[in-house]
């Protein structure tokens, strides 16, 4: 348990993705089966051990700790799991600390009534960080900022295989993943992806630099709209129907209204959107359905989900991935015409003879749910990952506004000595109102300039946050680029930006010359009206 | 059972701090007074400007380094264990185990004994003799970590975590924030005991006090000023700095260091997160809950005064044992320094 506890501790305090990967691969290489496999499952969310509720922990700790001391401590620490872990008065241990595998297997096979006793005995055998790991494990909240995707990336790094190879088999395996480790360590062949309804690694596009177009032959490419939803893989095999996000995470439970439409034998690639009355709705509508494990019927009726299909990876039991895009598209169209499935439409191909013609179409998108065009080589097979030269995304140009820097906060890791996180605002009737935050977009040299400005123009400090000068005459104007706007009750301005970043520092402008909130409101109205 | 009214109290509370009327003496006064006895050299206990100062030779040496030789009108060194009669009071300094020279003040008068602990710890520390428990009638204890969630692991456990991080990131410097007086030197001396023989790089604010420790006979091994380190020296280097330097522009010369902080507060995640460090090390020069309660149980005073820290929990616990315990609200003392005050100095 102690190596697992150390890993959780290290991950919880490690801000950088590469650092998290390093910690996890080291752990995997130094920890035996089945402990490491259970740890992997706990981190990736595939190990469901929710064996105890916080109330049980509280009851246990109250049998051992004076209630006044517990209350004072809980008040100070602020987190029940952590308070219990820290305050637990161990008796002198009679046994060694349990291994993670022992803990998991014991709890998984325990009868509900024997869980409290088991837990108490295990808490006695652990030190404070071990107790915290145990308590977080059984209450289901590790919260160390590590995604399932990052866990699979660590596995790929550990075994020196492409992450797509891990994704291909991942959903057919369960903790403690011993056959997976045996393969990654060269002791066994790859586990066979035998289960039905498995995820296939997704093919990704490169952003297009417009200068590259002159090297590309328009006749070799098909074009489609780039839809502003989330990438989805719909799989129906042997009676199983599943929906996966691009990361390989399963999202079936959030979209039960789509499952009847998955009336095929195969795997389709497409965009998950909200569509009603024949129109695709803005991304904001989809957002209110994401991350819901069990959506209410009323929500599904108001915001019905749909799939805009653009590729077929497998149909009627035949794996099509080695075939060309043109062939796969033909198969997809034939299937769609024959079935005319409810809630699955085809992403139309955009006819064009020259790049100029396509550029003109890109400038006039049909609605708010389009964020550019996609180019796909007609002869490309379906390749896992972001392989250059096959698929391109040509996004519409971002929106930009001039905003005024209001607050700055220091970053993490490499940036911990720089003020690198910015809150910016635009003018409303009663002064500047915050409209967003940006953490990137600037160069290292620009970061230094902003940092110097922040330190020299601080007018207030709130914990780690500095407020900087922002009068009409004095302040820093930032040109902010963003992908879209949506209404938000959580922001004082009533507007939230998508993907804001600092495009330029406008030292040449006075704050009084920055944009007004009315400009953003007009833009939002135009987006909602479909003008984009 | 009140004491006979004819006997004046041995210790009273005054605005400047604890006061011994029979000897006209303040203990760790927070403002200039005529006569002061100082428990240890931390800036919130040892302040400049007193008329006369009584303290261990080590504490006086620290005050001279920090405030200059003229920090008080007169100074009188009193080594551990030597007694001094001041009017009707006999005074003795006894090791407190907190930092070098730190002392408890033992006061005997008319058959009564009071002990003022200052700050103390029971965990081993190669830079200072261990805390000596002295049986007494009135014990004045600190309570910086006076909640049962504060239990400091053995320092070896935390040094192993530091070693593991250095092994995981061998190319990155490890920058550890440690209080300039006591914590930094204990960390260095403990690293030496654990076999670390290489150079350790110091922020400028640590140099004078490390030099003083060496003069006082504490073996710290090879120490180098960070400003003399070349880029090649810094890969994988161990660098110590006062906590206030973490996240400061000063640290940019280290590129992408793993940052750590050695403090008892690191036990609680929310506090550790606030400090924005990757490697929180639970290392403290204060007694944790188990040490506080074990010490009070061992000394078994009839009366207990609890000061600077989490008084409420410790008072509640002591009353449960039948000890006449009271919180003292002394102003002007900070908790374990992880940033404030004395750590600011030119790099």
Tokens at A37, concatenated: 């496999």
Q: Of all helices (H) and strands (E), which one includes residue A312?
A: strand A305-315
In angstroms, the separation between the Cα of residue B199 and the nearest Cα of chain A is 24
A221, part of any domain: yes
In this prediction, residue A396 carries a pLDDT of 87
Domain boundary among A395, A414, A443: A395
What is the DSSP code string of B258-306? EEEEE-GGGGSHHHHHHTT-SEEE---SS--HHHHHHHHHHH--SEEEE
A293 and A280 both lie in a single domain: yes
What is the DSSP code string of A63-99? TTS-HHHHHHHHHHH--HHHHHHHH--PPPPSSPPPP
Closest chain B CA to residue A25: B168
Residue A233 near residue A382 (C-beta atoms within 8 A): no
Q: Give the pLDDT confidence of A274-291 residue by residue, as tens digits.
A: 998 888 988 888 988 987
- Across the interface, do A65 and B148 touch by the CB < 8 Å criterion? yes
Q: Give the pLDDT confidence of A470-521 residue by residue, as tens digits.
A: 999 999 999 999 988 988 888 888 999 989 999 999 999 999 999 999 999 9
Task: Check pLDDT > 60 for residue B311.
Answer: yes
A146, part of any domain: no
CA distance B155 to B187: 9
Domain boundary among A377, A395, A413: A395
- Across the interface, do B276 and A78 touch by the CB < 8 Å criterion? no
Candidates B269, B282, B321, partner chain A, best to mutate (most A CBs within 10 A) = B269
A292, part of any domain: yes
Domain boundary among A123, A139, A155: A139
Tokens at B193, concatenated: 């005991």
> Buried b / exposed e across A245-278, counting CB within 10 Å, b at 16+?
bebbebbbebbebbeebbebbbbbbbbbbbbeee
CA distance B45 to B68: 16
A107 and A224 both lie in a single domain: no
Number of structural domains (chain A) is: 3
A506 and A415 both lie in a single domain: yes
A211 and A291 both lie in a single domain: yes
Residue A264 near residue A217 (C-beta atoms within 8 A): no
A289 and A358 both lie in a single domain: yes
A376, part of any domain: yes
Range of the domain at A82: 2-139
Most confident residue range from A84-93, A236-245, A247-256, B87-96? B87-96
A428, part of any domain: yes
Tokens at A455, concatenated: 């330190």
Q: Give percent of chain A with pLDDT exceeding 70.
A: 98
| Mean pLDDT, chain B, integer | 92
> What are the residue numbers of the active site of A?
226
A176, part of any domain: no
- Across the interface, do B251 and A6 touch by the CB < 8 Å criterion? no
CA neighbours within 13 Å on the CB side: how many for B24? 6
Q: Domains, chain B, ranges and CATH? A: 12-149+286-343 (3.60.15.10), 155-281 (3.40.50.12650)
In angstroms, the separation between the Cα of residue A507 and the nearest Cα of chain B is 23
Please, what is the angle between helix A35-44 and helix A2-13, to 10°? 30
- Give the CATH number, domain containing residue A61: 1.10.3260.10
Tokens at A171, concatenated: 């959903």
Task: Check pLDDT > 90 for residue A340.
Answer: no
A247 and A376 both lie in a single domain: yes
Please check whether residue A69 touches B, CB under 8 A: yes
Q: Which residues contact A529 (CB under 8 A, 6 or more apart)?
A: none
Q: Is the peptide bond before A176 cis (omega within 30 degrees of 0)?
A: yes
Closest Cβ opposite residue B256 in set A87, A127, A414: A414
Task: Check pLDDT > 60 for residue A195.
Answer: no
Q: Give percent of chain B with pLDDT exceeding 70.
A: 93
Mean of pLDDT values over B313-324: 96
Task: Check pLDDT > 90 for residue B236.
Answer: yes
> How far from B45 is each of A40, B31, B95, B127, B309, CA to CA, in Å?
50, 10, 16, 19, 14
Q: Give percent of chain A with pLDDT exceeding 90.
A: 69
Candidates A3, A13, A142, partner chain B, best to mutate (most B CBs within 10 A) = A13
Q: Which residues contact A203 (CB under 8 A, 6 or more apart)?
A: A269, A311, A382, A383, A384, A385, A387, A390, A391
A339 and A363 both lie in a single domain: yes
Chain A, window 121-140: residues with a beta carbon less than 8 angstroms from a chain B beta carbon: 127-128
Mean of pLDDT values over B90-119: 97
Cα angle: B162, vertex B164, B170; to 5 degrees: 95
State the CB neighbour count (10 A cutoff) for residue A174: 12
A442 and A491 both lie in a single domain: yes
CA distance B169 to A179: 30
**Residues of chain A contacting residue B148, judged by C-beta atoms under 8 Å apart:** 65, 69, 73, 86-87, 89
Residue B13 near residue B25 (C-beta atoms within 8 A): no
CA distance B213 to B128: 10
A433 and A491 both lie in a single domain: yes
Residue B7 near residue B66 (C-beta atoms within 8 A): no
> How far from B139 is each of A97, B148, B306, CA to CA, in Å?
38, 20, 8
A379, part of any domain: yes
Q: Output the 3-class SS for A128-152.
A: HHHHHHHHHHHHCCCCCCCCHHHHH
Q: Give the pLDDT confidence of B37-80 residue by residue, as tens digits.
A: 999 999 999 999 999 999 999 999 999 999 999 999 999 999 99
Q: Give the pLDDT confidence of B4-47 residue by residue, as tens digits.
A: 444 679 999 999 999 999 999 999 999 999 999 999 999 999 99
With cut-offs at 50, 70 and 90, classify the pLDDT of residue A76.
very high
A68 and A212 both lie in a single domain: no
In this prediction, residue A367 carries a pLDDT of 80
Please check whether residue A66 touches B, CB under 8 A: yes
**Strands B238-241, B223-225: parallel, antiparallel or unpaired by DSSP?**
unpaired
In this prediction, residue B333 carries a pLDDT of 65
Residue A65 near residue A80 (C-beta atoms within 8 A): no
A191, part of any domain: no
A118 and A232 both lie in a single domain: no
| Mean pLDDT, chain A, integer | 91
A339 and A221 both lie in a single domain: yes
């Amino acid at each position: 348990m102690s190596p697992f506890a150390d890993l959780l501790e290290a991950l919880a305090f490690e801000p950088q993705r590469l650092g998290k990967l390093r910690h996890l691969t080291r752990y995997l290489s130094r920890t035996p089966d089945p402990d490491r496999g259970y740890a992997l499952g706990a981190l990736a969310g595939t190990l469901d051990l929710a064996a105890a509720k916080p109330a049980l922990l509280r009851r246990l700790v109250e049998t051992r700790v004076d209630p006044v001391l517990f209350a004072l401590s809980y008040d100070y620490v602020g987190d029940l799991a952590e308070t219990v872990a820290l305050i637990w008065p161990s008796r002198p241990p009679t046994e060694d600390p349990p291994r993670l595998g022992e803990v998991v297997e014991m709890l998984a096979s325990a009868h509900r009534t024997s869980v409290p006793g088991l837990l108490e005995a295990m808490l006695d055998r652990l030190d404070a960080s071990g107790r915290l790991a145990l308590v977080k494990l059984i209450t289901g909240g590790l919260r160390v900022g590590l995604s399932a995707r990052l866990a699979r990336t660590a596995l790929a790094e550990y075994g020196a295989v492409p992450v797509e190879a891990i994704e291909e088999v991942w959903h057919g395996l369960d903790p403690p993943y011993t056959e997976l480790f045996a393969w990654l360590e060269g002791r066994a062949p790859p586990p066979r992806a035998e289960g039905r309804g498995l995820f296939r690694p997704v093919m990704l596009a490169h952003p297009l630099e417009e200068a590259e177009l002159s090297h590309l032959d328009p006749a070799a490419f098909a074009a489609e709209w780039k839809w502003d939803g989330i990438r989805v893989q719909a799989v129906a095999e042997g009676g199983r129907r599943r929906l996966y996000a691009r990361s390989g995470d399963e999202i079936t439970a959030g979209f039960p209204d789509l499952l009847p439409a998955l009336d095929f034998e195969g795997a389709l690639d497409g965009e998950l959107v909200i569509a009603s009355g024949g129109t695709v709705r803005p991304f904001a509508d989809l957002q209110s359905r994401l991350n819901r494990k069990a959506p209410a019927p009323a929500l599904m009726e108001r915001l019905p989900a749909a799939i805009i299909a653009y590729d077929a990876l497998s149909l009627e039991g035949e794996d099509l991935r080695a075939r060309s895009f043109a062939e796969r598209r033909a198969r997809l169209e034939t299937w769609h015409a024959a079935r005319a499935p409810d809630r699955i439409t085809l992403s139309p191909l955009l006819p064009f003879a020259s790049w100029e013609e396509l550029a003109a179409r890109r400038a006039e998108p049909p609605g708010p749910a389009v964020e550019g065009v996609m180019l796909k080589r007609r002869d490309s097979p379906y390749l896992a990952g972001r392989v250059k030269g096959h698929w391109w995304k040509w996004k519409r140009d971002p929106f930009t506004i001039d905003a005024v820097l209001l607050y700055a906060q220091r970053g993490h890791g490499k940036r911990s000595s720089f003020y690198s996180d910015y809150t910016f605002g635009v003018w409303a009737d009663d002064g500047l109102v915050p409209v967003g935050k940006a953490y990137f977009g600037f160069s290292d040299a620009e970061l230094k300039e902003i940092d110097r400005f922040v330190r020299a123009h601080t007018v207030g400090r709130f914990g780690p946050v500095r407020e900087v000068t922002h009068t009409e005459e004095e302040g820093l104007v930032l040109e902010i680029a963003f992908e879209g706007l949506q209404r938000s009750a959580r922001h004082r301005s009533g507007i939230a930006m998508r993907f804001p970043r600092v495009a330029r520092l406008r030292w040449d402008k006075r704050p009084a010359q920055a944009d007004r909130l009315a400009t953003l409101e007009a833009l939002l109205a135009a987006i909602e009206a479909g003008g984009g | 059972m009140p004491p006979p009214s004819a006997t004046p109290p041995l210790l009273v509370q005054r605005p400047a701090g604890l006061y011994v009327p029979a000897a006209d003496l303040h203990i760790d006064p927070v403002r200039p007074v005529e006569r002061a006895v100082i428990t240890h050299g931390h800036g919130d206990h040892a302040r400049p400007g007193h008329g006369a100062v009584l303290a261990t030779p080590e504490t006086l040496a620290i005050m001279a380094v920090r405030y200059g030789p003229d920090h008080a009108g007169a100074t009188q060194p009193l080594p551990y264990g030597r007694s001094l009669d001041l009017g009707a009071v006999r005074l003795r300094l006894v090791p407190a185990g907190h930092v070098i020279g730190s002392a408890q003040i033992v006061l005997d008068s008319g058959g009564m004994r009071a002990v003022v602990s200052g700050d103390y710890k029971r965990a081993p520390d190669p830079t200072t003799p261990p805390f000596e428990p002295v049986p007494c009638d009135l014990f004045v204890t600190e309570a910086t970590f006076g909640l049962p969630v504060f239990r400091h692991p053995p320092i070896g456990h935390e040094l192993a975590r530091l070693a593991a991080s250095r092994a995981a990131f061998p190319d990155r410097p490890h920058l550890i924030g440690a209080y300039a007086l006591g914590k930094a030197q204990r960390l260095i001396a403990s690293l030496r005991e654990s076999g670390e023989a290489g150079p350790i790089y110091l922020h400028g604010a640590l140099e004078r006090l490390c030099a003083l420790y060496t003069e006082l006979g504490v073996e710290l091994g090879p120490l180098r000023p960070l400003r003399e380190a070349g880029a090649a020296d810094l890969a994988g280097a161990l660098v110590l700095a006062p906590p206030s330097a973490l996240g400061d522009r000063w640290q940019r010369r280290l590129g992408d260091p793993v940052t750590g902080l050695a403090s008892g507060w690191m036990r609680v995640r929310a506090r550790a997160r606030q400090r924005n460090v990757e490697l929180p090390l639970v290392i403290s020069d204060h007694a944790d809950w188990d040490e506080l309660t074990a010490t009070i149980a061992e000394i078994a005073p009839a009366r207990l005064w609890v000061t600077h820290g989490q008084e409420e929990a410790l008072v509640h616990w002591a009353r449960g044992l039948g000890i006449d315990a009271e919180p003292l609200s002394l102003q002007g003392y900070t908790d374990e320094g992880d940033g404030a005050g004395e750590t600011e100095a030119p790099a």
